[in-house]
Amino acid sequence: MFVWVLGVWVLGASTCVGAYTHYYTHSLSLDQVWTVNNTARGIEVPATVPGGIYSDLQDSGVLGDILYRFNDEEYRWVGYENWTYTKRFNVTDDVLEKKDAYLVFHGLDTVTDIFLNGELLGSTE
């Protein structure tokens, strides 16, 4: 068994991440619990995928009710920060023996860099 680490670096707050790998007859959903962090502010919290950064921060108690009074203005800083979503997952030897593997994302939003085990796979603008 081999552990892969998938990291998605996201600039901005309108983050919606969803991914799965497809290995011909094998598929592995990467939805559910990820980790999101912001090193500049020292924030690291669990993240739900698919989902968004505001929901993740609110669910973890970093932000209060986004719709309460002037919180929409108070929380604008979230949109100006860099957020990294990370997911660790295991693949079996039979998957590693495949010639090709596909990593498919649905709903990447804003500017992203996608890494697998520290290697840049691609970017969006």
- Phi/psi for 80 (5° steps) reads -100, 0
> How many other β-carbons are positioned within 10 Å of the β-carbon of residue 83?
25
Each of the 125 residues of the chain gets a pLDDT tens digit; together they read 444 545 554 444 444 444 444 445 567 777 778 999 998 999 999 999 888 899 999 999 999 999 999 999 999 999 899 898 998 888 778 777 777 777 777 777 778 888 888 888 888 87
pTM of the predicted protein model: 0.76
Domain segments of the chain: what residues? 2-115
